[in-house]
Amino acid sequence: MSDKLAKSALNQAGSGTRSVWSGEQVQHPYRATQTPIVASAAYGYQDIDEWYDAALGTAPGFIYSRMSNPTVEILEAKICGLENAESAVAFSTGMAAISSVLYTFLSNGCRVVSTKDSYGGTNKVFEEFLPRMGVSVALCETHSHEQIEEEIAKGCDVLYLETPTNPTLKIVDVKRLVAAAKKVGALVIADNTFATPLNQSPLALGVDIVVHSATKFLSGHADAMGGLVCGSEELMGKVRHYREINGASLDPFSAYLIIRGMKTLALRIRQQQSSAQAIAEYLLTEPLIEAVNYPGLPSHPNHHIACEQMQGFGAIVSFVLVGGMDTVKVLLPQLQYGHCAGNLGAVETIYGPARTTSHVENTLEERLALGISEGLVRISVGIEDTEDLIADLQQAFEQVRGFSYSEMDLD
């Protein structure tokens, strides 16, 4: 079968098959079955014209790994297969991907519209760094599609969406907001990290550019950092040029680990989001919890939108504890099956409050202004047995109830 026919067949395959084979229907050196780690910084040429053509991109080839690398290219091809994108660009971290794509398309005099409920690092770019460049930023209430549409209509060069949001798990209607953005000729960028390509296809919903923190679910093992941006070849050419000059390239070792992790993405997500749904439903019954955030719950304000634009509801749940941070400090150390860490998307379950995870860069006042309670805890559900995770939460809550009111204020 020719490469063209093989790629065509793969496009029709399921997401699990594409997770394994996208980007890897090629003959690796030495007939290896796994993507090799090419650790060379530079690539040599005896023919100067051949070298020049490779440098210009008019002929295939590599010249310097800041610009392109064989291992990294396999990863870029793999995310293209999952997101149905023409092209992709890999970065050293998720924030490198997010900030670089914003800096590529925004400059002095431009206007960006987004929501308040974005990841803390992204929020800092909007609040601190873009205004320094003379970029006007409008951050809207995430639940108000009307407000977002009004701000877009005032003038918008880039609309930046994150759905579900981190860590409040809010959902925005992507098609509706894309339609508003296209009326004014705005570019639409969406962070698909939480949903993953298995649960949401932003490009099919009209989005122009999709970003991922590949450190999270794509890698899945908390041992590599990376970011990915994908979209049309025209747009990715601009993003790639920015990366080449500014230098936040992904190293081949991390690319290899992310490639390896992506092969089990479908299996991991299947178990993780099944457990997440069960955990969210259990948490609704716990008296020590004020609120549970999970788009798979019928009680979620935008559950109906999630049902329309997502194929699954993801593996992140967040909840708000009675007693705020005092209760958080008692509950988390009691958990046996979960790391308390500033990461998500790994095979192990991970717990953490917003002030030490998603919004550690923000002050207390900034978090409260963003609607993030000090009692909010984010769970990144792992691949452990569902029953064990729920039993672990149950015993932890029982221990919290064992503390006296003099030790912890639960009023």
Local confidence band at 142 (pLDDT 50, 70, 90 cut-offs): very high
The pLDDT assigned to 4 comes to 54
Average pLDDT over residues 277-286: 98
**Helical (H) or strand (E) element with 68:** none
Which residues make beta-bridge pairs with 114? Answer: 139
Contact partners, residue 48, CB within 8 Å, separation at least 6: none
Average pLDDT over residues 264-291: 98
Of all residues in the chain, the percent with pLDDT exceeding 70 is 96
Average pLDDT over residues 36-48: 95
- Supply the residues annotated as catalytic: 66, 119, 191, 216
Q: Is the pLDDT of residue 137 over 80?
A: yes
CA dihedral 183, 185, 186, 190 (to 10 degrees): 70
Q: How do beta strands 316-321 and 339-340 pair?
A: unpaired
If one counts every other C-beta atom within 10 angstroms of the C-beta of residue 3, the result is 10
Q: What are 236-263's pLDDT values in tens digits? A: 999 999 999 999 999 999 999 999 999 9
- DSSP state string for 181-217: HHHTT-EEEEE-TTTHHHH--GGGGT-SEEEEETTTT
What does the radius of gyration of the chain's CA atoms come to, in whole angstroms? 22
The pLDDT assigned to 2 comes to 46
The answer to whether residues 24 and 35 touch, using CB atoms and an 8 Å cutoff, is yes
Peptide bond into 164 cis (omega under 30): yes
Q: Is the pLDDT of residue 6 over 80?
A: no
For the chain, the straight-line distance linking the first and the last C-alpha, in angstroms and rounded, comes to: 68
Q: What are 8-17's pLDDT values in tens digits? A: 788 889 999 9
pTM, two decimals, is: 0.94
Structural domains of the chain, ranges and CATH numbers in brackets:
1-261 (3.40.640.10), 265-409 (3.90.1150.10)
Contact partners, residue 310, CB within 8 Å, separation at least 6: 195, 199, 200, 295
